């Protein structure tokens, strides 16, 4: 089973930059999107063979997630936890026979860490949600998690220390998540790989110079790691300031873990 996660930074804009062709070339079983920047009824997407599930922010043109899947899930829910976390369209959970798939667009701490208080509350509540799911069946979490966990995960760690996405607080919460029974699939397979990034600023020719950050992830329940066959990043795919990331799972006939 091949899964793709991609922060498209506005799906309408990405559609003008070969989004459909990119999806066809990647040919995944599941496509998870973040930052769609849509509201209900604004776009009809022609993706034959995929069932479409959307979660929209209350605020128009902001945030938003989507899951497109060839296999019908057992259930799909939008949002999680308290009402506080349910207004920005940031989470979709699709339950399959063998696992829960959680598509997430984590809130940005913003310049000067202006939103770090809410970010910390989100992190604790979201981790509790994932642990609760994991108690029922394994979890596959994907999305733009808005943090580069370690220095190897961004080109210029020194100047960015303490900035949004590379603050000690955010990195610490990622450490807590992994310690709760989860694994960063890409780093598990490629622990020493440098220059592997999924987001580049639009400024300073950052993408051309590969001055990027790895902030888009597939994180799985640790007991799923022996089913992971690949975790890849696709910097060759344009259309957004992020590129797609990929996970390939081998699911047995019984699909039990």
* Active site amino acids: 105, 144
> What is the Cα–Cα distance from 29 to 13, expressed in whole angstroms?
23
> What is the Cα–Cα distance from 250 to 257, expressed in whole angstroms?
12
Q: Does residue 57 contact residue 64 with C-beta atoms inside 8 Å?
A: yes
87 half-sphere exposure, CB direction, 13 A CA radius: 5
CA dihedral sign, ordered 86, 119, 173, 231:
positive
Task: Provide the pairing of β-strand 100-105 with 139-144.
Answer: parallel
Burial 218-230 (b: 16+ CB within 10 A, else e): bbbbeebeebbee
Nearest to 82 by CA among 129, 45, 38: 129
* Neighbouring C-beta atoms of residue 167, cutoff 10 Å: 18
Q: Does residue 26 contact residue 4 with C-beta atoms inside 8 Å?
A: yes
* Neighbouring C-beta atoms of residue 43, cutoff 10 Å: 13
> What is the Cα–Cα distance from 218 to 187, expressed in whole angstroms?
10
């Amino acid at each position: 089973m091949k899964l793709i996660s991609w922060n498209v930074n506005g799906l309408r804009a990405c559609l003008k930059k070969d989004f459909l062709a990119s999806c066809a070339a990647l040919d995944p079983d599941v496509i998870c999107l973040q930052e769609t920047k849509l509201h209900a009824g604004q776009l009809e997407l022609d993706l034959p063979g995929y069932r479409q599930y959307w979660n929209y922010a209350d605020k128009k043109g902001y945030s938003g997630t989507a899951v497109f899947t060839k296999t019908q899930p057992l259930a799909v829910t939008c949002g999680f936890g308290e009402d506080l976390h349910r207004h920005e369209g940031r989470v979709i959970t699709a339950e399959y026979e063998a696992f829960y798939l959680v598509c997430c667009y984590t809130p940005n701490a913003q310049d000067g860490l202006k939103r770090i208080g809410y970010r910390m509350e989100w992190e604790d509540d979201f981790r509790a949600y994932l642990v609760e799911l994991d108690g029922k069946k394994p979890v596959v979490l994907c999305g733009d998690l808005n943090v580069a966990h370690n220095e190897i995960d961004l080109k210029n760690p020194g100047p960015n220390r303490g900035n949004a996405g590379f603050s000690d607080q955010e990195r610490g919460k990622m450490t807590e998540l992994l310690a709760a029974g989860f694994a960063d699939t890409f780093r598990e397979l490629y622990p020493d790989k440098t220059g592997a990034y999924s987001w580049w600023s639009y400024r300073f020719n950052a993408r051309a110079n590969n001055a990027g950050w790895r902030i888009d992830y597939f994180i799985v329940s640790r007991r799923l790691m022996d089913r992971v066959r690949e975790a890849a990043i696709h910097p060759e795919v344009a259309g957004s300031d992020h590129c797609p990331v990929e996970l390939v799972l081998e699911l047995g006939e019984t699909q039990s873990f």
